[in-house]
Amino acid sequence: MPKPLPGAIDCDVHPSVPGMKSLMPHLSDHWAEVIDQSGLPDLETWNYPPGAPLTARSDWRPQARKPAANVEAMRVETLDRWGTGIAICNALYGVQTLFNEDLAAGLCRGLNTWLAREWLDRDPRLRGSIVLPVQSVERSVDEIEHWANDKRFVQVLMLVGGETPLGRRHNWPIYAAAARHGLPVGIHAGSSFRHPTTPVGWTSYYTEDYVNQSLAFQTQLASLICEGVFSKYPDLRVVLIESGVSWLPAHIWHLDKFWKGLRMEVPWVDRPPFEIVRDHVRLTAQPLDGPATPVAFGQFMEQMGSDKLLLFASDYPHWQFDGDDAVPDVISPTLARKMQFDNPRETYRRLEETKS
Amino acid sequence: MSTRHVVARASDVPDGTRKRVTVDGRDIALFNVRGEFFATLDRCPHRGGSFCEGRQTGLVESNEPGVYTYTRQGEIIRCPWHGWEFDLRTGRSKSAPSQWRARTFEVTVAHGDQLEDTSLALEMFPVAVEEDYIVLTLPAARSRSRE
Ligand code: FES
């Protein structure tokens, strides 16, 4: 399986917050005091249980600390090793699960500051996603405005499982702010655990939870389309991260089919949903859950109807592949190149403004 | 050469209603929208649903999510089978106008005393001079046979 090409743009890597202590210097005095008093040591969640094989590859899992917990580890394990051009850091920390929106906003500010100071300042190849305190739309917008001028932040980040479907209109100020600043909305696998992680209730096993993320992605995508987010914000891009990709054609065919007969209910959806997806939606391609042979994968890409939809991602340090085989070998060399360069640049316009 | 057929009394198809007539073995749906008549083949181009069984409705459009405009009441027929909308004026479907189009026919209304033209095929009844009739124009047989 191929290594990434030198200079590739890796659209999903995960720096780990070593623990609440690491955030302390980046919190306001008030929130630092609150955290200190409460003794809250960490905010890991069941989205990525620390010991699960998926959470970190064994060779990326040190004994004494979390994987990907500092920029040196990331350099050795990916950036230098593969000659990565740019890597987009998506911090997964349980801030979205808190019920206190003030605390969530305080911690998100600290988390984003930590990302800027401990990662983006330390390696010019790194870019970041602004983690939003999704508990509050107003505070999410504040967070976007706070970081918008730092062009190293190239995206805003939400989880696929939140309080309400993401298309619902009370969320729209977030999309307005993101569109205004040229920031795609990244929707990452994971839940705030406000609802069961599947539409039919809680599952028993992590395997089920992880695989069923795709149902949440399907629901969110249909919500964004049907509520008219892309009609209202024609410049908005949405990136589905760690979503899996093979469900997309089937789900959007389904939506296209029923839209033909139910169009009048959502008249702002004035063209077939698949067209909207091709213009507005991108997906990171690690994990790649598509067909296992190049021929069948080629057929899948025909079903996608565009070679612009997939973005290269290693998903470091999650265990999606072994060795340096970050680019699944079913992908043709031409597509692989597009996914590593053209497609990310077309998606993340800010990458042009911060050429390093 | 197209042919003209007297297919119904105008009073058989009151405002807001539809009627199926059969001409040369083909089922045709007549619609009256506020006194204006339209005719389509009574067979949806998608899978063959009967437009006569569908709902006559208006055109719902939007310039912005949450804002609806509702115009052309009665000029849209929704196929009873899968709910696709067809524009009675053009036959075009709303969701894929260039791909799916219902067959439409020219239809006029004529007073009984104007119906002396011998080229008219009187489909089913004698014409009384004091009544209005619906006259359908069908294209020549050759092009019809390709349908
Ligand atoms: S048969 Fe008319 S919409 Fe399918």
Which tens digit of pLDDT belongs to each residue from A85-97?
999 999 999 999 9
Q: Residue A126 pLDDT more than 60?
A: yes
Check if B81 has its Cβ closer than 6 Å to any atom of ligand 1.
Answer: yes
Please list, in sequence order, all residues whose beta carbon lies within 8 angstroms of the beta carbon of residue A334, skipping any fewer than 6 positions away: A307
Structure token pair of residue B32: 């009256």
pLDDT above 70 as % of chain A = 99
Residue A24: closest CA among A40, A35, A37: A35
**A231 contacts in B (CB within 8 Å)?**
62, 64-65
* pTM for the structure as a whole: 0.94
DSSP class of residue B54 equals S
Angle at which helix A101-115 crosses helix A29-38, to 10 degrees, equals: 110
Average pLDDT, integer, range A97-112: 98
CA distances in angstroms from B60 to A261, A263, A267, listed in the order given: 13, 9, 6
Place of tokens 């949440």: A216
**Per-residue pLDDT tens digits of chain B, which is 147 residues long:** 788 899 999 999 999 999 999 998 899 999 999 999 999 999 999 999 999 999 999 999 999 999 999 999 999 999 999 999 999 999 999 999 999 999 999 999 998 888 766 556 665 566 777 889 999 999 876 544 444
Q: ipTM of the assembly?
A: 0.86
Helices (H), chain A: 20-23, 29-38, 71-74, 80-82, 101-115, 137-147, 172-180, 206-211, 213-227, 229-232, 247-262, 273-280, 294-304, 333-337, 343-347, 350-353
Give me the CATH code for the A9-353 domain, please.
3.20.20.140
pLDDT of residue A353: 86
- At A218, phi and psi to the nearest 5? -60, -45
Cis bond before residue A333 (omega within 30° of 0): no
CA distance B38 to chain A (A): 22
Dihedral angle computed from the Cα positions of residues A209, A214, A216 and A222, in that order, rounded to the nearest 10 degrees: -170
Cβ of B94 within 8 Å of Cβ of A228? The answer is no
Residues A349 and A9: their CA atoms lie apart, in Å, by: 13
Domain assignments of chain A as residue spans, ordered by start: 9-353
pLDDT of residue B145: 45
Q: Where are the domains of chain B?
A: 10-111
The DSSP string of A101-138 is HHHHHHHHHHHHHHHIIIIITT-TTEEEEEE--TT-HH
Q: What is the CATH T-level fold of the domain B10-111, as seen in this structure? A: Rieske Iron-sulfur Protein (2.102.10)
Atom in ligand 1 nearest the alpha carbon of residue B47? 1
- Decide if B60 and A267 are in contact by the 8 Å CB cutoff: yes
Cβ of B62 and A259 within 8 Å? no
Atom of ligand 1 nearest to the CA of B54: 2
Note the pLDDT tens digit of each residue in A185-241.
Answer: 999 999 999 999 999 999 999 999 999 999 999 999 999 999 999 999 999 999 999
Q: How far apart are the CA of B106 and the nearest CA of chain A, in angstroms?
A: 27
Cβ separation of A261 and B68 shorter than 8 Å?
Answer: no
Q: What is the mean pLDDT of residues A15-37?
A: 97
Task: Tell me the shortest Cα–Cα distance from B76 to chain A, in angstroms.
Answer: 11
Phi, psi of B77 (to 5 degrees): -110, 130
For A80, the 3-state DSSP assignment is: helix
- Report helix, strand or coil for A269: coil
> Which protein residue has the closest C-alpha to ligand 1 atom 1?
B47
